[in-house]
Homo-oligomer: A and B are copies of this chain.
Amino acid sequence: MRDAYHDELDSLSDKLVEMTRLVRSAMARATTALLDADLRLSEEVISADEQVNKLETEIEETVFELMARQQPVAGDLRTVITALRMSGDLERMGDLAVHIAKTARRRHPETAVPPELQATVLEMGQIAERMIAKAGSVIASKDVDLGMELDADDDQMDRLHRRLFDILLSPKWKHGVEPAVDITLAGRYFERFADHAVHVAENVVYLATGQRPQEIIDTP
């Protein structure tokens, strides 16, 4: 039987997983809204972000309560502080999905993504969605191997981000400055989203093993 203290620690983990679920859904909708110039979907993403922020506040309150009342040490202390950090990353990822949705809304009824970039942007959105889904599984399962996969996903995101610029900056680009500005910003949002997902997974791996993912790979 668990005591109230450990129930509260578990509730932190549940709330973090719930945040990843909301952020995953936001990213999926934001990408579709961007590709389809769908105003309704954009608005959904923008208004749903409040729930993400609310969860972050709840986690923060639980953490302060736990620390004040239980004064956790060693491993539990690290778990609690790490939950606070992960909730900050996840809140920021929600904001980035909102920024993508706002890019879609700003250009509506036009699409912000010219045809030659649709496949690349779609793939960036899919990787972003996969990464946040994996981060959620990693938080729930403490699966270190899955946590390490996010580094490879992030490399793939970086490759797509470079391809985006190659297309934007090629002499064949014929859409002018305005779509280039939109795509530059959207690309940056996807890339930062991936960085935060890596950071979340790293924190779980670190809690579980005491090592950062790169150190595990480097160990012979």
A interface residue numbers (CB < 8 A to B): 64, 67-68, 71, 73-74, 77-78, 81, 84-85, 88, 165, 168-169, 173, 176-178, 180-181, 184-185, 188
The answer to whether A77 touches B81 (Cβ under 8 A) is no
| Chain B min CB distance to A28 (Å) | 24
Which residue from B64, B78, B81 sits with its C-beta under 8 Å from A84? B81
In the complex this chain forms, how many copies of it are found? 2
Residues of B within 8 A of A71 (CB): 71, 73
The answer to whether A177 touches B178 (Cβ under 8 A) is no
The answer to whether A74 touches B84 (Cβ under 8 A) is no
Q: A-B pairs with the 9 shortest C-beta distances?
A: A71-B71, A184-B184, A177-B180, A181-B184, A169-B178, A180-B180, A68-B73, A67-B77, A173-B177
- Interface residue SS majority, chain A: helix
| Chain B min CB distance to A185 (Å) | 6
CA gap between A185 and B187 in the complex, in Å: 10
Residue among A77, A168, A180 with max Cβ neighbours from chain B (10 Å): A180
Residues of B within 8 A of A168 (CB): 177, 181
| Chain B min CB distance to A127 (Å) | 20
The answer to whether A77 touches B68 (Cβ under 8 A) is yes
The answer to whether A169 touches B188 (Cβ under 8 A) is no
| Chain B min CB distance to A161 (Å) | 11
| Chain B min CB distance to A187 (Å) | 9
Contacts A/B (CB < 8 Å), 6 sampled:
A67-B67, A68-B77, A85-B88, A168-B177, A173-B177, A180-B181
> Could you list 18 further interchain pairs (A-B, Cβ under 8 angstroms) beyond the known A71-B73, A177-B180, A184-B184?
A64-B77, A67-B67, A67-B81, A68-B73, A68-B77, A71-B71, A81-B81, A81-B84, A85-B88, A88-B88, A168-B181, A169-B181, A173-B177, A176-B177, A181-B181, A184-B185, A185-B188, A188-B188
